[in-house]
A and B are shown apart, each in its own frame.
Chain A
Amino acid sequence: MINIFEVNETNKMITQENLDVRTITLGISLLDCVDSDLEKLNQNIYEKITGLAQNLVATGQEIEREYGIPIVNKRISVTPIALIGGNACKTEDDFVTIAKTLDRAAKEVGVNFIGGYSALVSKGMTKSDELLIRSIPKALADTERVCSSVNVGSTKCGLNMDAVRLMGEIVVTTATLTKEHDSIGCAKLVVFCNAPDDNPFMAGAFHGVTEADAIINVGVSGPGVVKTALEQVRGESFEVLCETIKKTAFKVTRVGQLVAQEASKRMNIPFGIIDLSLAPTPAVGDSVADILCEIGLEFAGAPGTTAALAMLNDQVKKGGVMASSYVGGLSGAFIPVSEDQGMIDAVKAGALTIEKLEAMTCVCSVGLDMIAIPGDTKPSTIAGIIADEAAIGMVNQKTTAVRVIPVIGKGVGEMVEFGGLLGYAPIVPVNPYSCEAFVNRKGRIPAPIHSFKN
C-alpha cells in the first residue's frame, strides 16, 4: 500500500512546486459540418462543438476535485478551418464569421481558447487557404478566444516561401489591428514547420485530418517539480542529473496519463496522446529557465545553454515515454519568453538574445515563442525570421514555430503586458539588416535530401 512519504511527495509537488495538468484539449473534427451555405455551415459548427464539449469543463473540474490535481485549462481544437470553409466562404469576411462562431461556441462551453483557425500550406495554397490566411488579422481582432496557426513547411515538402512572405505581412497587420492592446492578436498566431496533428497546447493546437471524430489530448507540466528535484543533486555528475530528470518526468507524466484516461472514460471520447512538454507560466517557480540555471548556468542564454536544454529535452522525453503508451504533440520543453519569469530576467539582464533563442529552438520542442519585438520591424524581416526557424525544423525533421509580437508603437527595452498566462516581456532587438530581396523571391525551397526515404 501507498505510504505517507509517497503521499507527501505527491502533495508537495502539487501544493508547493506547481505540478498541474496544463490542459485537457478536446479535438473535434468539423469535416462533417461542411456545407455550401455559409449560415448553415456556421450553425453546423456551433452545434457540433457545443454538443460534444458541453461537459468538458465540468468533467475537468470533477477530476480536479477527486484527485486533488489542478487542471489549469480546458480547451478545444478543431479541423483547420481553411479545409472546412472552402465551399461556403467567398471573401475574407465570410471566414471571419466562422471565427466568430468558434468564439461564441468557446464561450458557451466555457473553454478559454479554441484552436484551429488554421491553414496547412507547406507546399502550396488553395484559394481557400489564402483567403483564410488573409482573414486572420481581422478574425483575431474581432474574437477573444480563437487561436490561429499556419503550417508553411515540412521536411517532406520543403518551405512554401510564398506563404512565408505572406505570413510576414499577416503578423504585422494582426499587430496593427490589435495595437490598442499591445498587439496581443499576435500572441494567438503561430507559424509552423512540421506542425503536429495532435498538439494540445495553444496557440498552435488544431485537430488534424488524420485524427478521429473526437479525441482527448492532455498536456502535463511541471518545470517547478524538475527544478526542485535538481536542487537535491547539485554538483553531481551528468548521469545523476539525467536520472533525476527522467524519474521526475516519469512521475509527472503518470499523473497526466491518469487524468487523460479518466477524462476519456467520463466523456466517452477516445484518448489520443499525452504531450510531455515542460510548459512554464509567469508564476514564480514555474520556469524552464530556472531549471537551466539549476543545471549550472548563471542565466538562460549563457554559453552552454543549448547543450543544457538539449539534455533536458531528451531526458524529459525518455522519462515520459515510459509513463504513457501514447505520447505525441510536441513533447519536450517550451521556451516562451513572456510566459517564463526566468527567461524574462535573462532578457532584461542582456544574457538572452533572439539569436541565442533561435539556437535553442534547434534542440527544444518548439520555436521562437512569445517574443516581443519592436513595432517598426518590417514584414520582410519577420518573414526572414519565419524562414530561418522553418528551415531549422525542415532540416532537423522536427516541429518549429514562430510566435513573435511586433508591438506597434513600442521599441527596444520597453515592457509589454499581455496579462494572465501570456505574461509580460521586454522588447528585444532584431537584426536591422534587410533580407527583402531574399524573401521576395517567388516559389518554394525544395525538401532536403534526407527527406527521400522511400
Chain B
Amino acid sequence: MSDFSSPLALRIRGLAKAFDKPVIAGLDLDIAAGQLYALLGPNGAGKTTTLRMVAGLAKPDAGSIEIFGVDARRDPLGAKAITAWLPDEPMLYDKLSPLEYLAFVAGLWRMDPAHAAQEADRLLHWLDLWEQRDTRCEGFSRGMQQKVALAGALIHDPKLLILDEPLTGLDASMARSVKDALRSAVDAGKTVIVTTHILEVAERMADRIGIIGGGKLLAAGTLDELRDRAGTEGMTLEDTFIRLTTPDAVAA
C-alpha cells in the first residue's frame, strides 16, 4: 500500500480507541508528504476520532502516531509545533477581530512577532479578509469564520494541515476559495489531510484517498487504484466508495 518516493508526513500503526465500543481498531495508515489526502468513510467510521488523536485532542488506547518522524505520543509538543488542526466548527473567539485572533494564535505557537505580523497581513489579503481585519468575528458568516480559522491554521506555517469537513455549510464561492487555499498549501509543499462527505471534492482534489470503516483502513490509493480494487472501472468515486463500504466489504 505504501509506495512513496517522498518521506512520510503521517505514519500510524495499530491505532486503537474505544468509547462505549471500539471506534478505531488497529488502524495502520501512511500518508506521504506534499499530498492532499482525502480520508473518507461512512458516518461513525472513526475519521474524526482518528484525526483528533493525530492532533493531540484525544488519547489513543494503543498504537503509534508519527508526524514527519516525530512521535506524537512521546513528544506531543514537538508534533503540535508542525501541525495545524481545523475542525468543522471553527475555533474562534466571537469578541476578537481576525487580526487579534491571528496575533493570539501566533503567540501560542511563539512566532517571532514581526514575522507573524507579516504573515497575518499576507494571509488576510490572500483570503480576502483584509477589509474585515478589525471587525469582530461575532457577526461573520460561516464561510468568513472558516476563512479566519484557516488563516489561523496557516499562520504558523505547519508542515501538516488537518481539516475535518472544511467545506460544511459553505456556499459555492466560499468553498472555491477554501479549496484554492488548500491546493495552494499543497503546492507550497505542505501536506493536507481532509475528511469530507462531498465525494466530488475528494474525486477532483485529492492526490490519494483513504477509506476507513469499522475502525480500520479498508482501502487507500489514487482514484484509479481504488477503482481497480473495487472493480468499478469508469465509474465515479461514489460508486467505488459504496462498493468498498458495504457491510460485506467491511467484514472482509
Chains A and B bind each other: no
